[in-house]
Amino acid sequence: MSLLMIVVLCGCETVQPWERGILAKEEMQWQTNAAEAQLRNQIYASKEASSGGAGASGGGCGCN
């Protein structure tokens, strides 16, 4: 049990105030552009012929 706690605590890192600017850059984000993410979700929903789950509406035609 103590070995597990040591491994888990080794993953913790304190971010200094001057390092936060680097982490806030666009390259460090999961989704860099909200419009691009919405377009990808629309394409995924139209190709899968399903809607819901990701918030997209529409059928298989790709038009909303």
Q: Which helix (H) or strand (E) holds 37?
A: helix 34-48
> Which pLDDT tens digit goes with each residue over 21-62?
888 887 777 776 788 888 888 888 787 766 556 554 555 565
> Which pLDDT tens digit goes with each residue over 34-45?
888 888 888 887
Is the model's pLDDT at 64 over the cut of 60? no
The pLDDT score that the predictor gives to residue 12 is 74
Please give the Cα distance from 37 to 54 (Å, whole number).
Answer: 11
Q: What angle do CA 34, 58, 29 make, to 5 degrees?
A: 15
